[in-house]
Structure 1
Amino acid sequence: MKLLKDPFCVFLILLFSIFTILQCNKPNQPLQDDLVEVKNAVFKNNELFLAQIDELIALVSKDADNKTVQKKFDSLRQTYKKMEWAVEYFLPHSARFINGPALPEIEMAEHVEIEPEGLQVLEEMLYSEEKQNKAEVIRILKKLTNKGNTIKTNFQVITVTKDQTFDALRQQIFRISSLGIAGFDTPISGKFLEEMPVSLESLKSVLNLISTEKSQNSSLKKIVSEIDQSKQFLNLNKDKNTFNYLEFISVHLNPLSSLLLDFRTEENIPNVEVLTALRKNAGNFYSRDAFDVNAFVPGKQYEMSPEKVQLGKQLFNDKILSENNTRSCATCHNAEKAFTDGLEKSMSLANSKLQRNTPSLNYSAFQHGQFWDMRKDDLEGQSSDVITNKEEMHGDLQSIILKINQNKNYQTAFKKIFKTEKAEVWQLQNLLASYIRSLAAFNSDFDEYMRGNKNAMTEKQKKGFNLFMGKAQCAICHFLPLFNGTVPPNYKKTEQEVLGVAENSSNKKLDSDLGRGKFHETVAFLQKSFKTPTLRNISKTAPYMHNGSYKTLQEVMEFYNNGGGKGFNLKVENQTLSDAKLNLSQNEIAEIIEFLNALTDR
């Protein structure tokens, strides 16, 4: 107390207080105010969500007819869509078990499966042609109640700030523009076109809660108008097989996501400073440089640079990496063939066939899991695995580094980039990986179309895209805009699928390759599963599938059109691909293939 009587101490305390106030009001500082109105909106929707679950339990218990149960379930899903933006962003683990795929969750380290639950599991049950297992439906509904209570509990204690809320809403528009528009979470009922207006309306209502007068008169006004126009477009056609996906994405969703950046600027909302695959300043999925490949590197020291790419390219083409200097990476990864080799299966050093087809390196940087079986987490691990494989390059990393350190040009180049006296193994791995990470041009005719050049695609390709999104259901696994299995909008996970691929395109006998299952023998779900690769540049990467046994895209499309392995009566108990026939005509198949040609980089 005596210190407060000292004028100098009082002055210091006053000065510190002023400095603290200034710092708290400094531009671009995170906004720490808890948005009570936003949280209350989540609480309100969650209360309705829980009440609708109770109503569903009552209906199922009383053996209500299927149409009544399905209608109530559809309402439950739409209620979730009103708060999906918040749950997915703030409670991603809970979101996975509320509305994740109806597939087991895998704990890789423990080699165990966690049973699926949530809305997609219920959809399979309630829209199945088979008689419902009433007890099982009620059990899953009660588990969903527990997850709903988790939402309530967590949102009571977390702080929801303006910058986080905007970031979550921005993620939601990208979720709508990829998973939503593909019908990812309604694969059985196909009700996604009816749900999308609800998702879009939720964006509008929350933006209203966090806006000020300035944006209300400018950017928000434009956003509201665009959302209303989008809803009108959706209301014109709810048939997923005839809906114009290309027009809706290019004319409505892309401009809408770009308008959100204008809102952020007007509201002076700082970015949430977290490195993400989708750059914070990307107006839409198809903006130039929308994706940051550094979000997929194992650490900051591995980040890509032009110098690393240049030296990595030189090493990629240098036979110094193999035993007796007989083979380079480029031997099996030809740039003219989208970095594949055009062969059914890779060839060993002894010129014998290996087990699998050589995968394209284009866009492989945007995947968590390398090789068909995903046995390596990143491109650094991938490069060393190939170099040291006795059948592929049979190199020795320590011997290679010794050669590099004895080469004055390489020694100088390594030192300039890494600031070390001698080259190290991790640096070699990183240089090769950096070059591979540069192999994503995003300049196909499809990309140009999405950037505004309406003459970039033919009418046949446009029809093919709409079939790809709708009737053929390709985008459920090959997510826009990367067209691979890395799940948007967070891009934290790459999916694998069990297709039931046969030994060859006659589809008479199941291929024996266990794929990812080889490394997880006790996990039934992963047996014969393989990474979902990108479809970009697919016109250059024949033959197809992990075993290279499908020589043309026509053969691949016939396989999918019949429902995968199960559709050909192959025994694939854990097939994740729907075995329902797509009923695509030959003309429709030709249009889809034409669209796939539009994914070739220029």
Structure 2
Amino acid sequence: MQNIKLFITKAHVFSVCLFIVFIFSCKKENTTNSNHIAPLEALNQYYSKNLRRCISYVDTLAKSQNKESAEKNYLQARKYFKICEPILAFADAENYKALNQPNILKVEEEDATDIKIMNPFGFQVLEETLYDDNFDIHTLQNIASKTKSRLELVSNNSQLRFKDYHVLWLVRDEIARIALTGITGFDSPVLEQSLKESEFAYQTIAEILKIYESHFTSEELMTSWQSELQATQQNLDASFSSFNRYNFIKYHTHKQLELIVKTKKDWNLEFPYELAFNNDMTSLFSKNTFNLSYFSSEQFDSLPKAKIELGQKLFNEKALSKNNAISCATCHQKDKYFTDGLTISKGVTRNSPTLLYSALQKSFFYDNRAGSLEGQIVAVVNNKNEFHSDLQHLEQTVSNNQKYVEAFKEVYNDSVSQDYVRNAIATYIRSLTPFNSKFDNNINGKENTLTASEQRGFNLFTGKAKCATCHFPPTFNGTVPVLYKESEMELIGVPQTNDTINAEIDDDLGRFTVFNTEEKKHFFKTSTVRNVAKTAPYMHNGVYTTLNDVVDFYNRGGGIGLGMNIEHQTLPPDPLNLNQQEITDLIAFMESLTDEL
């Protein structure tokens, strides 16, 4: 009997021990699982956590009672905003844009019956308000409250549903964003904290790749990323004025773009389509950087040679005009880098802009009144001072030429139509994106000929001189990276004459003439700086004949710097304080952007 009791006791103890081991094992297994959650879930947690931190500091900022407290909370809020930026900008582009918009009056013109005028809010506005000479705590609190409300909206809809290829796209976008707008001071206009803020964004890139570490089959590739990102953040630990942006892009940005392509292959991914950037691009300054169809009214994989050649012939065809007097090439001459060299082109009221790189824009004419190259051609054809014709005449003229009829049958497998005529000309213009200037060849490592002056000039253009905050590289026009959905317009106060003493603003009202929006008087599209050494005279009215004149205008602070009273000038009115050597270097850089045609 005693043996039976002893056996039962031992069995009971053994069962209890097994139960304890089972419970412990379950707890251990659950703990392990919680530390190894799915990458997308981990990314969601990381994003949500930092977004809430940002909101918390903005909330405290909105309740600040003095400038010292406000500064402290602003800097913390901005830090976490930048940590969120790579994910936020990709997941919710419109709200990111609103939260990071410049401190200028926001005007949205859908059409003549739908025009919205709105005061800006967000981090740039907070920065300029906080560090304004006439600081007002109540204004700051109001802007912070609006910013918090928008951040709350973002947070309430922040669940990420990314595929693996989305992750690589957002990393690529942020790498490009930092190079093209981040390090230029675009969104830190007063504090010039761009480099430190770029470090915060790179922290997130490193964290994302760590979260997705299990996706890598190549340990060497993951190690390359880790060492490169560490070196990049160390490089960014520099002063805004002395930072070498040229070297940063050449030796870090481009290396990271190469790593993106390698990672895509390592993860065995296929991108389902292309955005603004080509999926295999490894340089920001290459003919292979952009997906041209993204900027177009049609989709295509490449520009057919036969269609380009047909478009070139039509581009030079004077018979398309009513009196056989002019062609597209009349005002856009190849030997003048597709301008005409005149102050004002014949029959119109503005200077003839270059067509080079115009394919990499989202709107056309100085006042942005056309939404495509084909649409721009319609306006030129119908203009009584230009072609003084119509689309029917365009189609009929080409149809009467047997060589053209045969060419259209070959290229379009169809008969001549005005749509095809316009498309052929537009295709030729889209081919005018060479990216083979001295600067391009040097930053891509094809040659080593860039002078110290030219390199300093690029660093000034993208730094102290603030040129790149409107003329965004690599196109150096106003089409905003990295989404490239908008071609910006600016009011800089261009004078009627080259007079620095009694300057008066030019009487061309620019964008105002499209919808008669009062707040858009004297606004003009930001043109490309590429090939600027060959496209004088400058500005929409050709008022300046030399690059030195142009730089002097900006160095003084634009129209306000010349003494004009301009309410909505978007160009900062403060002098740039560039010395003569800096002006020389800046011009040397711009001259290095001349392509070989």
TM-score (norm 2): 0.90
1:413-562 equivalences in 2 (<5 Å):
413-420=407-414, 422-453=415-446, 455-507=448-500, 508-524=503-519, 526-562=520-556
Task: Please state whether the residue corresponding to 2:236 is helix, strand or coil.
Answer: helix
1:136 aligns with 2:129: no
Task: Please state whether the residue corresponding to 2:323 is helix, strand or coil.
Answer: helix
* Conserved 8 A contact 1:111-1:523: no
User: What is the letter of the counterpart of residue 154 of structure 1?
Assistant: N
The aligned counterpart of 1:84 is 85
The aligned counterpart of 2:62 is 57
Aligned equivalents of 1:389, 1:556: Cα separation in 2? 30
Q: Please point out which of 218, 228, 231 is paired with 1:229.
A: 231
Q: In the TM superposition, what is the alpha-carbon distance from 1:210 to its structure 2 partner?
A: 1.4
Q: Alpha carbons of 1:395 and 1:177: their partners in 2 closer, same or farther (altered >3 Å)? A: same
Task: Please state whether the residue corresponding to 2:230 is helix, strand or coil.
Answer: helix
Q: In the TM superposition, what is the alpha-carbon distance from 1:54 to its structure 2 partner?
A: 2.2
Task: Please state whether the residue corresponding to 1:112 is helix, strand or coil.
Answer: strand
* Conserved 8 A contact 1:127-1:188: yes
Q: Alpha carbons of 1:266 and 1:194: their partners in 2 closer, same or farther (altered >3 Å)? A: same
Residues 273-299 of structure 1, C-alpha deviations (whole Å, 9 max, x = no match):
233221011013124411121111113
Larger radius of gyration: 2
* Conserved 8 A contact 2:337-2:356: yes
Residues 232-251 of structure 1, C-alpha deviations (whole Å, 9 max, x = no match):
1222x22x222211111111
The aligned counterpart of 2:30 is none
Aligned equivalents of 2:235, 2:505: Cα separation in 1? 44
Q: In the TM superposition, what is the alpha-carbon distance from 1:325 to its structure 2 partner?
A: 1.1
Task: Please state whether the residue corresponding to 2:89 is helix, strand or coil.
Answer: helix
Q: Can you give the 5+ residue segments of structure 1 that lack an aligned partner in the other structure?
A: 1-32, 349-353
1:291 aligns with 2:290: yes
User: What is the letter of the counterpart of residue 391 of structure 1?
Assistant: N
Q: Alpha carbons of 1:303 and 1:449: their partners in 2 closer, same or farther (altered >3 Å)? A: closer
Q: In the TM superposition, what is the alpha-carbon distance from 1:263 to its structure 2 partner?
A: 1.7
1:269 aligns with 2:269: yes
User: What is the letter of the counterpart of residue 373 of structure 1?
Assistant: D
The aligned counterpart of 2:74 is 73
Moved more, 134-143 or 461-470: 134-143
Aligned equivalents of 1:174, 1:80: Cα separation in 2? 18
Residues 316-362 of structure 1, C-alpha deviations (whole Å, 9 max, x = no match):
111111122111111111111110000100012xxxxx311001100
* Conserved 8 A contact 1:380-1:429: yes
* Conserved 8 A contact 1:479-1:488: yes
Moved more, 176-185 or 274-283: 274-283
Q: Please point out which of 349, 360, 363 is paired with 1:355.
A: 349
1:17-166 equivalences in 2 (<5 Å):
35-58=40-63, 60=64, 62-65=65-68, 68-109=69-110, 110-132=114-136, 134-156=137-159, 158-166=160-168
Aligned equivalents of 1:151, 1:585: Cα separation in 2? 45
* Conserved 8 A contact 1:278-1:291: yes
The aligned counterpart of 1:200 is 202
Residues 54-111 of structure 1, C-alpha deviations (whole Å, 9 max, x = no match):
22223x2x2243xx43233122111111111111111111112211222334331212
Q: In the TM superposition, what is the alpha-carbon distance from 1:175 to its structure 2 partner?
A: 0.6
Aligned equivalents of 1:215, 1:113: Cα separation in 2? 52
TM-score (norm 1): 0.89
* Conserved 8 A contact 2:215-2:267: no
Q: In the TM superposition, what is the alpha-carbon distance from 1:44 to its structure 2 partner?
A: 0.6
Aligned equivalents of 1:275, 1:244: Cα separation in 2? 31
Q: In the TM superposition, what is the alpha-carbon distance from 1:455 to its structure 2 partner?
A: 1.8
Aligned equivalents of 2:46, 2:130: Cα separation in 1? 29
Aligned equivalents of 1:257, 1:72: Cα separation in 2? 35
Residues 187-218 of structure 1, C-alpha deviations (whole Å, 9 max, x = no match):
12111011111111110001111122745622
The number of residue pairs the alignment matches comes to: 554
Aligned equivalents of 2:458, 2:494: Cα separation in 1? 24
Q: Alpha carbons of 1:76 and 1:426: their partners in 2 closer, same or farther (altered >3 Å)? A: same
Counting aligned pairs with the same residue, the percent is: 35
* Conserved 8 A contact 2:254-2:283: yes
The aligned counterpart of 2:15 is none
* Conserved 8 A contact 1:564-1:577: yes
Residues 154-183 of structure 1, C-alpha deviations (whole Å, 9 max, x = no match):
123x52332212211111111111011211
* Conserved 8 A contact 1:125-1:137: yes
Aligned equivalents of 1:215, 1:195: Cα separation in 2? 31
Q: Alpha carbons of 1:303 and 1:234: their partners in 2 closer, same or farther (altered >3 Å)? A: closer
* Conserved 8 A contact 1:346-1:357: yes
1:204-283 equivalences in 2 (<5 Å):
204-212=206-214, 214-215=216-217, 217-235=219-237, 237-238=238-239, 240-271=240-271, 273-283=272-282
Q: In the TM superposition, what is the alpha-carbon distance from 1:456 to its structure 2 partner?
A: 2.7
Aligned equivalents of 2:242, 2:299: Cα separation in 1? 46
* Conserved 8 A contact 1:497-1:576: yes
The aligned counterpart of 2:336 is 337
Q: Alpha carbons of 1:112 and 1:201: their partners in 2 closer, same or farther (altered >3 Å)? A: same
User: What is the letter of the counterpart of residue 173 of structure 1?
Assistant: I
Aligned equivalents of 1:523, 1:173: Cα separation in 2? 38
Aligned equivalents of 2:115, 2:497: Cα separation in 1? 31
1:406 aligns with 2:406: no
* Conserved 8 A contact 1:322-1:328: yes
Aligned equivalents of 1:394, 1:57: Cα separation in 2? 58
* Conserved 8 A contact 1:515-1:527: yes
User: What is the letter of the counterpart of residue 509 of structure 1?
Assistant: E
Aligned equivalents of 1:549, 1:590: Cα separation in 2? 21
Q: In the TM superposition, what is the alpha-carbon distance from 1:303 to its structure 2 partner?
A: 7.5
User: What is the letter of the counterpart of residue 405 of structure 1?
Assistant: S
Q: Alpha carbons of 1:418 and 1:288: their partners in 2 closer, same or farther (altered >3 Å)? A: closer
Aligned equivalents of 1:530, 1:402: Cα separation in 2? 35
* Conserved 8 A contact 2:317-2:327: yes
1:323 aligns with 2:327: no
Task: Please state whether the residue corresponding to 1:546 is helix, strand or coil.
Answer: coil
The aligned counterpart of 2:14 is none
Aligned equivalents of 1:327, 1:557: Cα separation in 2? 34
Aligned equivalents of 2:67, 2:391: Cα separation in 1? 67
Q: In the TM superposition, what is the alpha-carbon distance from 1:114 to its structure 2 partner?
A: 2.6
The aligned counterpart of 2:381 is 387
The aligned counterpart of 1:598 is 592
The aligned counterpart of 2:21 is none
Aligned equivalents of 2:230, 2:562: Cα separation in 1? 45
Q: In the TM superposition, what is the alpha-carbon distance from 1:408 to its structure 2 partner?
A: 1.1
* Conserved 8 A contact 1:386-1:392: yes
Aligned equivalents of 2:77, 2:424: Cα separation in 1? 50
